[in-house]
Amino acid sequence: MSSATSDMMKHLSSTILNNDDLTLVKTGAPAYLLMIDSLISKDPENENLLSTASMLYTAYADLFVRDVSRSRKMADKALNYANQAICLENKNACKLKSKPFEEFEKIISTMKKEHVPTLFALGNAWAGWIMANRNDFNAIADMSSIELIMQRVTELDETYKDGAAYLYLGTLATLLPPALGGKPELGKQYFEKAVKLSMGKNLMVKVLYAKMYARMIFDRKLHDQLLNEVIAADPYVPGYTLVNTWAQIQAGELIESSDDYF
């Protein structure tokens, strides 16, 4: 990819992430996604472009897409891009999803620090794919694979994206109730680690901590404390303004439903 194209991608991504107008991003981002598809068609072996596309498709679907079939379609594309990227970076990692778990585990264990961005993009897209297919037991069964990926990311560089891998690990640990294999206390440890590493920049950390853990164990004090901290925070943080704006909306909705839930 040319330097000019790289700069354009960087600036466009920054513009989206630093925008507080959710409606504008929702209506404008699809054109950007189509542009990325076009760039990939011209340069299909550019792993950085593939990883970027995967991350953006996952983020857009998570924030804005509520139609189930459309969400699944976007999740499929994001995961496909992430799989292509990691295959280009490590030939042993091609078709990871179809490999036996022991072989999968061995391949992930060989990943190095330079693989972290692509590895994280894969875990991110796979998590989005599971959420889009959460009514499918076979999809839920893939949770252990994502957990392995994000654990490897923390081993190689736990500060990557301000500790975002711990946010995924915390969410995975609290996605199911204890009776079905959920691990709320382990999830709490992961969320606390994510809070520490994010240093208050990513407000979604505390929203998910409240939503996934505090609600699961019926700890209203912690729940309301976390959410009120989110609501009171300044959302304008470079790289996080869009996510933080959405996090504050979610925090307000969760606070409003506290009486009914608890």
Cα–Cα distance for residue pair 98/120, rounded to 1 Å = 19
Q: Are the C-beta atoms of 148 and 123 separated by less than 8 Å? A: no
Name the more confident of 157 and 48: 157
pLDDT per residue as tens digits for the range 88-134: 999 999 999 889 999 999 999 999 999 999 999 999 999 999 989 98
The one-letter code for the residue type at 205 is V
Q: Which of the four CATH numbers 3.40.50.1820, 1.25.40.920, 1.10.3720.10, 3.90.320.10 does domain 158-262 have?
A: 1.25.40.920
**Residue 86 is encoded by which pair of tokens?**
């990691």
pLDDT per residue as tens digits for the range 213-239: 999 999 999 999 999 999 999 999 999
Predicted confidence at residue 6, as pLDDT, reads 60
Number of C-beta neighbours around residue 137 at 10 A: 8
The segment(s) of the chain belonging to CATH 1.25.40.920 are 1-142, 158-262
Judge whether residue 190 has pLDDT over 90: yes
Q: Which of the four CATH numbers 1.25.40.920, 3.30.70.260, 3.40.50.2000, 3.40.350.10 does domain 1-142 have?
A: 1.25.40.920
Provide Rg for the chain, Cα atoms.
Answer: 18
pTM of structure = 0.93
